[in-house]
Amino acid sequence: MKTSGFSSRVYAVVAAIPSGKVATYGQIAKLAGAPGAARAVGMCMRHNKDTKAVPCHRVVGSTGKLTGYAYGDGIPSKRKMLEREGVKFKNESVDLTLSGWVPA
């Protein structure tokens, strides 16, 4: 799949998120060199064709809320995958203090 420079950087950052951790769309945008491009990150995730290499289910909203997921049953599938990986939830949102990714 041919991707833009931005998309390639986004996919590389998301590929680095370890199992059991999540990152926010804004965090991914900043790490990809485009602070403020959280919505563009969302579009990249929506068009991700390789969910094994680019675990887009590990990308969440700024408050830890689960937002869009284009695969399986949508948000319920995303939550199940995160729970299987050990991601901690507080009500309907990911507990970012426990499961937020802090890159080295």
Cα angle: 85, vertex 89, 92; to 5 degrees: 125
> Which of 58, 20, 63 lies closest to 41, judged by CA?
58
Confirm whether 56 is a catalytic residue.
Answer: yes
- Choice among 14, 44, 56, 59 that is catalytic: 56
Q: Which residues pair with 65 in a beta bridge?
A: 93
The set of catalytic residues is 56
